[in-house]
Amino acid sequence: MRTRPLKVALLGCGVVGSEVARIMTTHADDLTQRIGAPVELAGVAVRRPSKVREGIDPALITTDATALLERGDIDVVIEVIGGIEPARTLITTAFENGASVVSANKALLAQDGAALHAAAEKHGRDLYYEAAVAGAIPLVRPMRESLAGDKINRVMGIVNGTTNFILDKMDTTGAGYQEALDEATALGYAEADPTADVEGYDAAAKAAILAGIAFHTRVRLDDVYREGMTEVSASDFASAKRMGCTIKLLAILERAADGASVTARVHPAMIPLTHPLASVREAYNAVFVEAEAAGRLMFYGPGAGGSPTASAVLGDLVAVCRNKLAQATGPGESAYTQLPVGTMGEVVTRYHISLDVADKPGVLAQVATTFAEHGVSIDTVRQQGKDGEASLVVVTHRAPDAALTGTVEALRKLDTVRGVASIMRVEGE
């Protein structure tokens, strides 16, 4: 066993970074045995050096991250700063100075993953990012390595714990959106500004990363269709329950039936209560991966938080350190297929549509004709009326999303349709 330690620089020491430092210290002996050499925390770059950080030697703290990376003796850099800059520049600097990188930065990887992979390859270094997608859940490495000999056709799952907590509370307690969000905030699941979570930006970044791995093609954040969950209401959950469903914010990545393109999307959807994702509660994540040979695989666990995310970071640290000792690198970017990324309009899906209509003869026939004119077949329909007003709930068969969108726009123009109360896709069948 090598006695000279591998030196690690930690960029960021917030909730995740501080937990990474703690585990490195308390599990130092175990990490040494698992890696084959001791690992030493050589420096911690932070913005606020005056903050007390329990268990970390103050002598390790610095505000000059660049100088830390340019020392020349750093073997591995752990980046848990988040955001685009200065993280992007610092990761590039780490590669240029001979260090491999472990990152939890989903936003940066979704936007500039190709450039970062290219920089890592140019300098013969590793870029690992298990913690960027689903917290403690091993997902990136199984898809990138364990399923490397298989063909992945579809990935569908819950990849944001905050939104799942909110939707779960709306479902199980009858709470409204704002009430559930307030509870999530009070418990620390939601940020003071929850936009990235509730509008689907966080899930979309993760979807882009997973799609690139699954389909061996480059998928950027801008390629992912994104729809938030702020408009989901108690009436939507009531409709879902009448169908034997619940509502989840899903990331769905698919290879086209002809294999010629891929799509990536994030949006709320109704799923049957019999589907395993329907029972994923609180702030947990779960992801289904469908491969040709392996079939359907489910990955489940805590998707966020200091300890779960730190667990994924440390797993990557062990792998990267082992590679360092072996003078080798792990798998890099695989984008050989160069498949085009299709639009949401090309996706084949189902709709649940609630309409406010006039309660008079011929309305249902008029609505059904509109669906038929756009090539959309109706699966079920339910109508309730009283005092000249009525509600009409239509569930369609699967059709191109563009056709379904066109149908809704045509319905809005009918003089018998007072308004479209809600629209939601139906998945998981």
Distances (CA, A) of 127 to 81, 101, 121, 186, 323: 16, 5, 9, 35, 11
Tokens 């970044």 found at = 205
**DSSP string for residues in 112-181:** HHHHHHHHHHHTT--EE-THHHHTTS--HHIIIIITTTS-EEEEEEE--HHHHHHHHHHHHH---HHHHH
Residue 413 falls in the annotated catalytic set: no
Cβ–Cβ under 8 Å, residues 167 and 245: no
DSSP letter at 260 equals S
Instruction: For residue 133, give the nearest of 100, 154, 107 by alpha carbon.
Output: 107
H or E element in which residue 184 lies? helix 177-186
Q: In 3-state terms, what secondary structure has residue 243? A: coil
The rounded distance, in Å, linking the Cα atoms of 73 and 85 is 24
What is each CA distance from 8 to 42, 69, 321, in whole angstroms? 5, 10, 10
Do residues 37 and 3 touch, judged by C-beta distance below 8 A?
yes
- Residue in 206, 241, 360, 386 annotated catalytic: 206
Q: Residues for the chain: how many in total?
A: 429
Distance of CA 418 to the CA centre of its chain: 37
Residue 206 to residue 227: CA distance in whole angstroms: 14
- Please identify every residue annotated as catalytic: 206
